[in-house]
Amino acid sequence: MKRIYDSTALERADDDPFAPETTEGDDRSPRTIDWGAFSHAFTPIAVRHWAIDVTVSTDERRYEPDEPVEIVVEFRNRLPFPVRIRTDSPNRWRWTVNGLRDASRVAQTVPDRPVAFSFARRERKRFRRQWHQRIQISDDKWDPIEPGVHTIGVGINRADAAARGLVDSTEIEIRD
């Protein structure tokens, strides 16, 4: 009886039927498409901005004084292809409390060089922040916020984010 490995039943050709054909001396790798760059080049700016859905939420609606506020920020690409949006600085998004960026009156020192905020097809990016109901008034001093209704806002870091629909906000109440 002849063993199977002695026969030619398991011999295979060196050619891979799924590899692209190359000619002798052709050392190029198979071409691939960078779909992110492709969609960025051919998708109109208005469509790119419409594609990104921005939401902000908190774990509760009302808080006791000094109780931490859990903030959840989500960016979602609605389209079935990648999208890139230009931002004004390397910080791709920002959050505010009553219009104060990062709940601070201290100026940010972030370079003003544009970068891209990239999303894969139908991608969701979720971020969590915790705010301790304080406003920064100097590099080393934070003051508690007054009781009442306060607005927490989020937006992609662009000067025209509100006009382009790249912002969202929610209100919370801090009890007396």
AA letter at 91:
N
**DSSP bridge partners of 94:** 155
- The tens place of each residue's pLDDT in the chain, 176 residues long, gives 556 556 555 555 555 555 555 555 555 555 677 777 777 788 888 898 999 999 999 999 999 999 999 999 999 999 999 999 999 989 999 999 999 998 898 887 767 788 999 999 999 999 999 999 999 998 889 999 999 999 999 999 999 999 999 999 999 999 98
Residues 6+ apart with CB under 8 A from 67: 133
* CA distances (Å), origin 85, targets 28, 93, 138: 32, 11, 32
In a domain, 128, yes or no: yes
Domain limits for position 119: 54-174
pLDDT for 4 equals: 57
Q: How many domains does the chain have?
A: 1
pLDDT for 122 equals: 94
CA atoms within 13 A on the CB side of 32: 4
Residue 44 in tokens: 């109109």
In a domain, 49, yes or no: no
pLDDT for 1 equals: 53
* CA distances (Å), origin 60, targets 57, 94, 108, 131, 155: 9, 21, 29, 13, 21
pLDDT for 79 equals: 93
In a domain, 39, yes or no: no
For Cα atoms 51, 54, 59, give the angle at the middle one, nearest 5 degrees: 150
Residue 78 in tokens: 């609605």
pLDDT for 34 equals: 78
In a domain, 7, yes or no: no
Whole-number Å distance between alpha carbons of 92 and 51:
16
In a domain, 3, yes or no: no
Q: What pTM did the predictor assign?
A: 0.76
In a domain, 64, yes or no: yes
Q: What is the CATH number of the domain that holds 77?
A: 2.60.40.10
In a domain, 35, yes or no: no
